[in-house]
Chains A and B, each alone.
Chain A
Amino acid sequence: MVHTDRLYGAAAEPCELLIRGAHVLDPRAGLDEPRDILIRGGRIAELGVAGTLSAPDGGELLDATGKHAFPGFVDPHVHLRSPGQEYKEDIESGTAAAAAGGFCAVIAMPNTDPIVDDAAVLRSVVDAACRHAHVPVGFLAAITRRSEGQELTEMAELRDAGALGFTDDGRPVVSAGMLRKALQYQRLAGGVLALHEEDPGLSGGGVMHEGPVSARLGLAGIPSLSESTMVARDAALARYEQARVHFQHLSAQESVAALEQAKQAGARVSAEVCPHHLTLTDDLVRTLDSRFKMNPPLRAESDRRALVAALRSGLIDCVATDHAPHARHEKEVPFEQAPMGTTGLETAFAALFTELVMPGELELEVVVERMSGGAALYALPTPRIAPEEPANLCLVDLGARFEVGAKGYVSRSENCCFHGRTLHGRVVLTVAAGAVAFRTPMLAQAGALA
Chain B
Amino acid sequence: MTTAMPRHLISIDDLDRSRIERILDRAESFAEVQGREIKKVPALRGRTVVNLFYESSTRTSSSFELAAKRLSADVVNVRSIGSAVDKGESLKDTVQTLSAYDPAAIVIRSPEVGAAQLVAGWTEAAVINAGDGKHEHPTQALLDVFTLRRKLGSLEQANIWIVGDVMHSRVARSDILAFKRMGASVTVCGPPTLIPRGIEALGCEATATLARLHEADVVYVLRMQQERMRESFVPSLREYSERYQISAAQLRPGQLLMHPGPVNRGVELSADAIDSPVALIGAQVKAGVAVRMAVLYELLVGAPLLAAVA
Q: Which residues of A contact B (CB under 8 A)?
A: 210-219, 221, 223, 288, 329, 332-338
Cβ 8 A contact of B135, one of A211, A218, A332, A337: A218
- Whether B306 is near chain A, meaning CB under 8 Å from some CB there, is no
| CB <8 Å contact, B113 and A334 | yes
- Whether B301 is near chain A, meaning CB under 8 Å from some CB there, is no
How distant is the Cα of A53 from the Cα of B175 in the complex, in angstroms? 72
The 5 closest A-B pairs by CB, nearest first: A333-B88, A218-B134, A212-B201, A334-B112, A288-B114
- Whether B170 is near chain A, meaning CB under 8 Å from some CB there, is yes
> Chain B residues near A212 (CB, 8 Å)?
198-202
How distant is the Cα of A292 from the Cα of B238 in the complex, in angstroms? 41
| CB <8 Å contact, A215 and B199 | yes
Cβ 8 A contact of B110, one of A210, A214, A334: A334
| CB <8 Å contact, A215 and B134 | no
> Chain B residues near A338 (CB, 8 Å)?
88
How distant is the Cα of A78 from the Cα of B193 in the complex, in angstroms? 37
> Chain A residues near B91 (CB, 8 Å)?
333-334
Cβ 8 A contact of B197, one of A215, A288, A333: A215
> Chain A residues near B132 (CB, 8 Å)?
334
> Chain A residues near B197 (CB, 8 Å)?
210-211, 214-215, 221, 223
| CB <8 Å contact, A213 and B113 | no
Q: Which single residue of chain A is at the shortest CB-CB distance from B118? A: A334
| CB <8 Å contact, B113 and A218 | yes
6 contacts between A and B (CB under 8 A): A216-B198, A218-B173, A219-B133, A221-B197, A334-B132, A337-B88
- Whether B239 is near chain A, meaning CB under 8 Å from some CB there, is no
How distant is the Cα of A169 from the Cα of B254 in the complex, in angstroms? 59
Q: Nearest Cβ in chain B — how far from A349, in angstroms? A: 31
| CB <8 Å contact, B133 and A218 | yes
How distant is the Cα of A211 from the Cα of B198 in the complex, in angstroms? 5
B residues 193-213 with Cβ under 8 Å of A? 196-202
Q: Nearest Cβ in chain B — how far from A335, in angstroms? A: 5
> Chain B residues near A335 (CB, 8 Å)?
112-114
> Chain A residues near B173 (CB, 8 Å)?
216, 218
Q: Which single residue of chain B is at the shortest CB-CB distance from A290? A: B114
> Chain B residues near A288 (CB, 8 Å)?
113-114, 117-118
- Given A216-B201, A216-B202, A332-B118, 9 additional A-B pairs, CB 8 A: A212-B198, A212-B201, A218-B113, A218-B135, A332-B88, A333-B92, A334-B112, A334-B118, A336-B133
> Chain B residues near A221 (CB, 8 Å)?
196-198
- Whether B299 is near chain A, meaning CB under 8 Å from some CB there, is no
> Chain A residues near B117 (CB, 8 Å)?
288
- Whether B27 is near chain A, meaning CB under 8 Å from some CB there, is no
How distant is the Cα of A55 from the Cα of B225 in the complex, in angstroms? 76
Q: Which single residue of chain B is at the shortest CB-CB distance from A331? A: B88
Q: Which single residue of chain B is at the shortest CB-CB distance from A209? A: B198
Q: Which single residue of chain B is at the shortest CB-CB distance from A207? A: B113
- Whether B227 is near chain A, meaning CB under 8 Å from some CB there, is no
| CB <8 Å contact, B198 and A219 | no
Most A CB contacts (10 A, CB to CB) among B87, B113, B114, B200 go to B114
| CB <8 Å contact, A215 and B201 | yes
Q: Nearest Cβ in chain B — how far from A266, in angstroms? A: 35
A218-B170, A288-B117 are contacts. A337–B112 as well, Cβ < 8 Å?
yes
How distant is the Cα of A329 from the Cα of B198 in the complex, in angstroms? 32
> Chain B residues near A216 (CB, 8 Å)?
173, 198, 201-202
How distant is the Cα of A266 from the Cα of B118 in the complex, in angstroms? 50
> Chain A residues near B113 (CB, 8 Å)?
217-219, 288, 334-336
How distant is the Cα of A329 from the Cα of B201 in the complex, in angstroms? 34
> Chain B residues near A337 (CB, 8 Å)?
87-88, 112
| CB <8 Å contact, B198 and A217 | no
Q: Which single residue of chain A is at the shortest CB-CB distance from B10? A: A288
Q: Which single residue of chain A is at the shortest CB-CB distance from B90? A: A333
How distant is the Cα of A216 from the Cα of B110 in the complex, in angstroms? 18
> Chain A residues near B202 (CB, 8 Å)?
212, 215-216
Cβ 8 A contact of B89, one of A211, A214, A223, A333: A333
How distant is the Cα of A329 from the Cα of B87 in the complex, in angstroms? 11
Q: Which single residue of chain A is at the shortest CB-CB distance from B199? A: A215
| CB <8 Å contact, B87 and A333 | yes
> Chain B residues near A217 (CB, 8 Å)?
113-114, 135
